[in-house]
Amino acid sequence: MILENVLRKLGVVLMAAAVATVTAVGASAKVEGDTVYLGAAISLTGKYSTNGAHTRKGYDLAVEQINAAGGVTVDGVAYKLGIVYYDDESTPARGAQLAERLIQQDGVQFILGPYSSGLTRAMAPITEKYGIPMVEANGASISLFQEGYKYLFAVLSTTEQYLQGAVALAAETAGEGQTLRVGLAMENDPFSQDVRAGVIADAERLGMRIVIDDKLPPELNDMSATLAKVRALRPDLLVVSGHAKGAALAIRQIADSRIDIPMLALTHCDAAQVIEKFAEKAEFALCASQWAPGLSYSDELFGSARDFADLFEATFDYAPPYQSAESAAAVMVFADAFERAGSFDPAAVRDALAATDMMTFYGGINFDDAGRNIAKPMVLFQIQDGEYRVVYPSEASEAELRHPTPRWSER
């Protein structure tokens, strides 16, 4: 009897202690000393590990730069930024779990997004549930912004805009009264299907005809069936989207099979490193990008887009992919919102985020009601003489579009 009583009391005491610890951690961990912590679950292993690493480098570079410049000043006190990282192993379930962990156990109250739309989609309901703001830089799927989330903000252009520039360019080059024929080879995943929807909407608006509409399987290892259609139907514009493997396979097999396409537009060229891998086989291809070092944007922290690129290259020994640039911009957005909110209260920061209107080396940032950045257009590169040259939008372009792509027999 006595033992039972003691045990029961001990249990109560232990439980109280546990609760006290959890709440203590929850209350103090978001700001430790002079450092405010952001949380990020990104793909350090698994199939997105390369892009996860690009994302992390972007975050780290921005944090370093902001801290070197004196950190963020909130309510007259200067704070440094810090990031709590976890590895989401490229799986959405793990990402959701880690979001929960960051918020519940680590007491982090501000989340930086993971890599990919799939993972962002897994984490968004969690941050929303706890009312924790998430600024994300790598989840472009339009469907993320149709859920009515109030705490989700994206600095990048959404998916449906990715290749609309190619459609616009194709329309510009077409002569009067010509009906352009468009071929689509898009991976059967949310990202590429959103890209597809954007292309189809624009193509139909401009009176083009869709002659091929293939959905590539995620475990894509050969495209010859689709390319046979291209050879037979000769579309004026072929649009391919299937992450790095789609871009690499498309360039490899179009060149190997000598298929003539007047205009080829792709996503993920730089992630697939098509210039390094295929050299002249990749010439003339158009590539969608969120950002380019040649753009004329600038800010006080990093300087111009070119300055960011130089700093990144000096730090990490390779040119920054756009994933790193947009990730750095996400950190800048948080820093800006903290200063304007004047506190680290998640709700106040959320409202400050919603009112964001700033210029960065990455482009303008201004969120609409759904949390999308509407101040920055997509960029389209063309591979010219072994280099990416911006050809769209025309006001930011560095080079003239080379059109049409010469036939293989004439190259």
Partner 1 sequence: MFENLQLLIDYPSLGVDLIANGLMIGAIFALAAFGMALVWGVLGIINIAQGEFVMLGGFVALTAAGLGVPPLLTIPLAAIALFILGWSLYRLVIFRVVDRDLFVSLLATFGLSIILQQLSNEIFGADVRTLETGLGTMVLFDGQIVLAEIKLVSFVTALTVGLVLWAFLKRARLGQAIRATAQNARAARILGIDTDRVYAATYALNAALCGAAGSLVVMAWTIHPYIGLPYTVRSFLVVIVAGLGNIVAVITAGLGLGALENLAGFILGAEYQIAFVFVLMVILLVGRNFWLRRKREYLE
Which residues make up the interface to partner 1 (CB under 8 A)? Answer: 45-51, 185, 188, 214-217, 219, 221-226, 228-229, 231-233, 244-245, 247-249, 252-253, 256-259, 271-273, 277-279
Cβ-contact 121, 91 below 8 angstroms = no
Is 88 or 299 the residue whose CB approaches partner 1 more closely? 88
Q: Output the smallest distance, CB 261 to partner 1, in A.
A: 14
Is 47 or 129 the residue whose CB approaches partner 1 more closely? 47
User: Among residues 371, 395, 391, which one has the least CA distance to residue 140?
Assistant: 371
Q: Output the smallest distance, CB 1 to partner 1, in A.
A: 50
Q: What angle do CA 178, 182, 183 make, to 5 degrees?
A: 155
Is 9 or 258 the residue whose CB approaches partner 1 more closely? 258
Is 10 or 233 the residue whose CB approaches partner 1 more closely? 233
Helix-helix angle 49-68:305-316, to 10 degrees: 110
User: Among residues 293, 377, 326, which one has the least CA distance to residue 113?
Assistant: 326
Q: Kindly state the tokens that stand for 371.
A: 């949390």
Q: Output the smallest distance, CB 267 to partner 1, in A.
A: 13
Is 77 or 225 the residue whose CB approaches partner 1 more closely? 225
Q: Output the smallest distance, CB 231 to partner 1, in A.
A: 7
Q: Output the smallest distance, CB 191 to partner 1, in A.
A: 15
Q: Output the smallest distance, CB 97 to partner 1, in A.
A: 19
The residue with tokens 């608006």 is 205
Is 60 or 270 the residue whose CB approaches partner 1 more closely? 270
DSSP 372: B
How far, in Å, CA of 200 to CA of 170, rounded? Answer: 13
Is 168 or 210 the residue whose CB approaches partner 1 more closely? 210
Q: Please compute, for residue 14, the number of CA atoms within 13 A of its CA located in the half-sphere on the CB side.
A: 6
Residues 6+ apart with CB under 8 A from 175: none
Bond from prior residue into 393 cis (ω within 30 degrees of 0): yes
Cβ-contact 344, 338 below 8 angstroms = yes
The residue with tokens 């799927």 is 141
Q: Output the smallest distance, CB 83 to partner 1, in A.
A: 22
User: Among residues 330, 326, 371, which one has the least CA distance to residue 149?
Assistant: 371
